[in-house]
Structure 1
Amino acid sequence: MSGKKLKLVLCWHMHQPEYRDTQSGEFKLPWTYLHVIKDYVDMVAHLEAAPSAKAVVNFAPILLEQIEDYSNQVTGYLHDRIAMKDPLLAALVEPTASADPDKRLKLLRDCKKANRERQIDRYPAFRKLIDMADWILGHQDAIKYVNAQFVSDILVWYHLIWMGETVKLTDNRIKRLIEKGAAFTLHDRIEIVEVIGDLLSKVIYRYKALARKGRIELSVTPYAHPIMPLMLDIASAREAMPEVALPKLPDYPGGEERVCWHLRKGINTFRHFFGFEPRGCWPSEGGVSERTLAILGEFGFHWAASGGNVLHNSLRASDLAGKTSVHQAFRLASASTVCFFRDDGLSDLIGFEYSKWHADDAVADLIQHLENIADYEARPPLVSIIMDGENAWEYFPDNGYHFLSALYRRLGEHPRIELTTFSEYLQGAEAQVQPLPRLVAGSWVYGTFSTWIGDADKNCGWDMLGDVKQAFDNAVQDGRLSDQQQEKARVQLAVCEGSDWFWWFGDYNPGEAVSDFEKQYRLNLTNLYRLLGEEPPGYLALSFTQGSGSPAMGGAMRRGNEL
């Protein structure tokens, strides 16, 4: 074995779309705060506990704003008993469970939304409650015989199973409630909200503190997570998929102006929370094109990143296939921003396979792959493992606690593997940046945009977006909106432009998730029409997509390579 070393970047992307009804302020789905108390606090705790660890942590700005909102709401409840605007959190602290049968049935359905094997079955007391809930949901007339204590206990347990493993191991309040197991009181339920408040109020600062110490690099996406290449040029989808069916919308009107708005707003939001400007950008869904990279350079970004298949498509188009490796940094002649590309194979091993392995075996296997890369590569390699930072861990035992602990420890002490960040790599004397003659537009998923466009339902979503954008442009041009109204409408338009809605459209996704996100999308569009002073089109009252599929990991994650 040679002694060649390898530089490794672990990049965790933290991202949730806008779940609020921006007119009422109510959170329609609870995933932001649930992922805070489980995944964002666990990841930062692992990084804090491993002095030799380094990582890039990327935040979507619209997620940061929602975390702040939740923190303020919980504080307002605890200090002044101001009602919280998340129905699940509010139900947790109601003095007695609502007697409304429909509300009780909805709570039972909501409290089933967790990984059955790793979260529910881990705790026999909760498993028993869920088994009872399953029977009740199959015999809905029985809900009138369900007492308030049952609803209270299932709500408490649901929040306990969503607590991060590092919280369960260190917070005596959570330890006591897990041990108690049943007959939870209002005091117990308020105590859980106190824990949630502590986690929400500190989580962003904990990442900021690690960044100040040089332990992690923080980066950003455009404000509301839009697919920038498609906004710039819908036809860019054809660069990787020549035969793709596109929406009726010939192009997204004013797309470049909107991309720049998202970038400007994203940088300002990042600066508000972290106190400095980011050097790097994970473009939403790793979506890049030549024009996208050029604009990122104009905004001062030193680096961006995308999927390995984007590089493979680009090398083939440049007659360079097989002549260079994904484990390098690249720069287009037409852009100043350096682009890194994800090792899809290694990233997918963590996302889809290692949850089934013993943690030590999984980490040993990953290290063996990295050693093989170091031995094989002609140039000193820079390996980029880029992953969703929240959705994988519920499939691991104990929320990935054993895997992540072993991962950071073993990598930190390995003599041939150096954990680094993208900016640190570029500032180092050993940095090598390869020229890339051409970039084929695509994303980290398969190197194409097929997850967001091309399907009939996804294309319908784009046509709806085009309609509301035209209405927005007309309202601005007519001068019927004040400056304050225009700004509210621009932010609401940004919410509509987010990538997540299109991700979930299509019958290959699970029915419940498709329904949730499709309803939210129609609500977002409806709210924008009303901000513009217009009556929403009738079609927004009707569902336009439904799912019946059963994809891996519930559809919340994709592989970089098609199977």
Structure 2
Amino acid sequence: MLHLILCWHFHQPDYRTESGDYRLPWTYLHALKDYSDMAAHLEAAPDVRAVVNFVPSLVEQLDDYASQFASGQPRDRLLAWLIEPELDRLDEAAKAELIAACFRLNYPTMVEPFPAYRLLHEMYERLKTEPASLNYLSGQYLADLVTWYHLAWTGESVRRDQPLVLALMQKAQGFSLADRRTLFRLIGEVIAGLIPRYRALADRGQVELSTTPHSHPMAPLLIDFAAAREARPDSDLPTCPAYPGGEERVRAHVQAAFDCHRSHFGRRPEGFWPAEGGLSEPALRLFAEEGVRWVASGEGVLRHSLQASGMDLGRKSAWAYRPYRLPGIGTYCFFRDDTLSDLIGFEYKGWWAADAVRHFLHALEAVHHEAAGAETVVTVILDGENAWEYYPYNGFYFLAELYKALADHPDIRTSTFSEYLELKENGVGDLSRLTAGSWVYGDFSTWMGDAAKNRAWDLLCAAKQAYDRAMCGGGLSPRARAAAEKMLKSCESSDWFWWFGDYNPAESVRAFDQLYRMKLRQLYQLLGQPVPAALDTPISGGGGPAESGGVMRRGQG
């Protein structure tokens, strides 16, 4: 048998301000569209096993959104506009913000299929060159627009299971406040049900739930900036020589992840997808000391590690399809197949579902044939949310047909990381050394080395030094200390550094730049420290037309 591990990574950074208001809506929108659909596909295919990786910063926001829906008092502006009774009274700036937000999606798959939504877009396109002309757009236009935006973000499984969604789509226009409030309640029900659904899938043994250090920090870089030069010796490093107390911070994220996972899913996770698949020998040793049984990373990390060990890489089947361990470290390392993962992430969105599934199975069968009886485990890892926006019907037909084909295949067995180790613990390779890197290109160039990224690290280092000074003193109350710790975790997320650089779209870079600097400001305020003037200056402007809007990257350059 060929063992196939599908690992879907569910992640959103913390978009909240210190007061709890949301600056970006991606957590609840992806929950409504993608996390709900991914659960439905697994529920419909009980013979297919998979791994679902929940990042704690996402889980905690799902909790928060569930409480907002229950109270009827959203702290997300877009969600609040959905149930705003007097949209016609919005001022000019709020109206422009609402309209811009409601066209922030992939037009070919999420606007074009709906004539009424398409008409709203055409009206906007005619008027947007003259900002004052937006005043001609009525409160009813705004009501229809914000309703259609949320309808477009409903998962395909939600549309098929909830008659309300189809009824609103058929109504098409003239949505009332009652319509919008009913849709609001439905969205709340979907989000509140997500964690229980995945917990049920895990309880019946179909899904392994794993996690990531709490706020998705790039652990190898927090521990040692020099890790960036193991795969790229010429990489520029931040001015700050090291992140202060980095190893201690990684342990804090690991312990917080264990606590969050146990409280939501009823058990301690066996394994981690480290943020961005980022590994180094010190990070791997830390995970082992914390009792993490397995971790996963990218194919490039394995390739660089084997080459550094002097291995002449020939056929991929001879080295890629097994877990590995380092001497003296008990944690197992699995490595992502970049080609197969990127086919799902980038290529199959434009294929007929049946052709894509046939092609994917053929690629797996070729691996199986080339292995010629050797123990083989293929690991496919990618985001569980970002790819589907670019597929027709949110990837519904591709995933449904893929799961059915895998369940029926005589030579392919879907598995999980922990299950595979129970069955095949003797099929493990030995690594003499591990070259630090991530799933993107096997290095850290997406997070460090660029001038803007390095400046962001220097700003974080300065904030951490202020944090250390304040924590050593006795002036902070226990409540202030807890709030500062929470904000620091959020500032340490890898997501901010991902977006900095000229190769990403300017609008996205600007949004994440503002949010990152705002969080650093709030950290200083929580510490009772003066806010540096440097935080008033944007870090990066962006400007590149990145593939898939910059939310995804390919594993290989």
Residue 406 (1) aligns with residue 401 (2): yes
Partner of 1:325: 319
Match of 1:519 among 514, 517, 520: 514
In structure 2, the residue matched to 1:104 is: 95
Query: Of residues 15, 24, 27 in structure 2, which corresponds to 1:29?
Result: 24
Q: 2:486 aligns with which of 491, 494, 500?
A: 491
Structure 1 residues 235 and 429, CA gap change in structure 2 (3 angstroms):
closer
**Superposition pairs of residues 285-300 of structure 1, within 5 angstroms:** 285-300=276-291
Amino acid at match of 1:476: M
Which stretch of structure 1 is more off in the superposition, 279-288 or 142-151? 142-151
- Which one of the candidate residues 261, 271, 274 is aligned to 2:252? 261
Identity rate, percent: 47
SS in 2 for 1:385: strand
Alignment of 1:458 with 2:458, yes or no, is no
Following the alignment from structure 2 to structure 1, what is the Cα–Cα distance between the partners of residues 330 and 125?
56
Q: What is the alpha-carbon root mean square deviation over aligned residues? A: 0.9
Letter in 1 for 2:297: S
The separation in 2 between residues aligned to 1:317 and 1:534, in whole angstroms, is 46
- In structure 2, C-alpha distance between the alignment counterparts of 1:439 and 1:303, rounded to whole Å: 15
* Separation of aligned partners in 2, 1:544 and 1:382: 42
Q: Shift of the alpha carbon at 1:281? A: 0.3
**Per-residue deviation, 1:482:** 2.5
Q: Are 2:10 and 1:20 equivalent residues in the alignment?
A: no
Say whether residues 1:200 and 2:196 are aligned partners.
no
Could you tell me which residue of structure 1 aligns to residue 434 of structure 2?
A: 439
CA distance in 2, matches of 1:549, 1:328: 37
For residue 484 of structure 1, what is the amino acid of its counterpart? R
Letter in 2 for 1:373: V
**Distance in structure 2 (CA, Å) of the matches to 1:555 and 1:60:** 20
In the alignment, is residue 541 of structure 1 matched against residue 536 of structure 2?
yes
Corresponding residue for residue 184 of structure 1: 175
What is the letter of the counterpart of residue 116 of structure 1?
Y
Mapping 1:345-494, distance limit 5 Å: 345-378=339-372, 379-429=374-424, 431-494=426-489
Q: Distance in 2 between matches of 1:93 and 1:222?
A: 35
- Give, in angstroms, the shift of residue 430 of structure 1: 6.3
CA distance in 2, matches of 1:462, 1:135: 42
Does structure 2 retain, via aligned residues, the 8 Å contact 1:290–1:334?
Answer: no
**Equivalent-residue separation in structure 2 for 1:427 and 1:484 (angstroms):** 44
**Corresponding residue for residue 90 of structure 1:** 80
Q: Which residue does 2:158 correspond to in 1?
A: 167
| The one of 282, 294, 308 aligned to 2:273 | 282
Contact 1:308 1:343 in 2 (8 A): yes
Q: How does 1:125-274 map to 2 (within 5 A)?
A: 125-274=116-265
Q: Aligned partners of 1:476 and 1:183: how far apart in 2?
A: 55
Per-residue deviation, 1:535: 1.8
The aligned amino acid for 1:137 is K
Which residue is 1:80 aligned to?
A: none
Compute the displacement of 1:542 (Å). Answer: 1.9
What amino acid does structure 2 have at the position aligned with 1:452?
W
Does the 8 Å CA contact 1:312/1:321 hold for their aligned counterparts?
Answer: no
- Of stretches 486-495 and 9-18 in structure 1, the one that deviates more from structure 2 is 486-495
Deviation at 1:431, TM superposition (A): 4.7
Between the aligned partners of 1:542 and 1:241, the Cα distance in structure 2 is 29
Contact 1:52 1:413 in 2 (8 A): no
CA distance in 1: counterparts of 2:200 and 2:140, whole angstroms: 41
Alpha-carbon distance between aligned partners in 1 of 2:449 and 2:500, rounded to the nearest angstrom: 11
Whole-Å separation in 2 of the counterparts to 1:391 and 1:286: 17
CA distance in 2, matches of 1:429, 1:95: 60
Structure 1 residues 321 and 487: CA distance shift in structure 2, 3 A = farther
Using the TM superposition, give the Cα deviation of residue 511 of structure 1 relative to its aligned residue in structure 2, in angstroms: 0.3
> In structure 2, how many angstroms separate the alpha carbons of the residues matched to 1:469 and 1:131?
48
Give the letter for the 2:90 counterpart: A
Report Cα offsets for 1:234-266 as digits up to 9, x if no partner: 011000000001010100010000000000001
Q: TM-score, normalised by structure 1?
A: 0.97
In the TM superposition, residue 288 of structure 1 has moved relative to its aligned partner by 0.2
CA distance in 2 between partners of 1:12 and 1:321 (Å) = 32
User: For residue 48 of structure 1, what is the aligned residue in structure 2?
Assistant: 43
CA distance in structure 1 between the aligned counterparts of 2:166 and 2:108, rounded to whole angstroms: 21
Query: CA–CA distance in 1 between the matches of 2:538 and 2:307?
Result: 41
Deviations 1:193-223 (A, max 9, x none): 1110110110111000000000100000000
Is the 1:374–1:380 contact (alpha carbons within 8 Å) kept by the matching residues of 2? no
- Residue-by-residue CA offset, 1:24-65 (whole Å, 9 max, x unaligned): 210000000000000000000000000111100001001000
* Larger CA deviation: 421-430 vs 119-128: 421-430
Deviation at 1:295, TM superposition (A): 0.9
Counterpart of 1:550 in structure 2: which amino acid? P
Q: 1:187 to 1:238 in 2, by over 3 A?
A: same
Q: Distance in 2 between matches of 1:261 and 1:291?
A: 15
Question: Which shifted more, 474-483 or 492-501?
Answer: 474-483
Paired AA for residue 464 in structure 1 = L
User: Structure 2: how far apart are the matches of 1:321 and 1:341?
Assistant: 18
Q: Distance in 1 between the 2:328 and 2:450 partners?
A: 32
Q: Moved runs in structure 1, 4+ residues, more than 6 A?
A: none
State the Cα distance separating 1:70 from its structure 2 match: 0.3
- What whole-Å deviation, never above 9, does each CA across 1:262-281 have from its counterpart, x for those lacking one? 00001101111111000010
Whole-angstrom distance in 1 between the partners of 2:198 and 2:426: 26
Post-superposition shift, 1:147? Answer: 0.9
CA separation in 2, counterparts of 1:295 and 1:99? 52
Superposed CA offset, 1:357-387 (max 9, x none): 1000000000000000001015221000000
Partner of 2:70: 75
**Is the Cα–Cα contact under 8 Å of residues 57 and 218 in structure 1 kept in the other structure?**
yes
Distance 1:286 1:135 in 2: 45
Counterpart-to-counterpart distance in 2, 1:516 and 1:480:
34
Unaligned runs of 5+ in 2: none
Match of 1:552 in 2: 547
Q: Deviations over 1:538-563 (max 9, x none)?
A: 1112212111100111110000000x
Q: 2:113, 2:433 → 1: CA distance?
A: 50
CA distance in 2, matches of 1:159, 1:215: 31
* SS of 1:84 mapped into structure 2: coil
Post-superposition CA distance 1:404-426 (Å, at most 9, x none): 00010000110000000000000
Q: CA deviation at 1:477?
A: 1.5
- Amino acid in structure 1 at the alignment position of 2:448: I
Alpha-carbon separation, structure 1, partners of 2:78 and 2:105: 14
Q: Aligned to 2:199, what secondary structure does the other structure show?
A: helix
Provide the secondary structure at the position in 1 that maps to 2:267.
coil
Letter in 2 for 1:52: D
Give distance in 2, aligned partners of 1:430 and 1:404: 30
Q: Does the aligned pair in 2 maintain the 1:105–1:137 contact within 8 Å?
A: no
Unaligned 5+ runs, structure 1: 78-82
Aligned equivalents of 1:308 and 1:429: distance in 2?
21
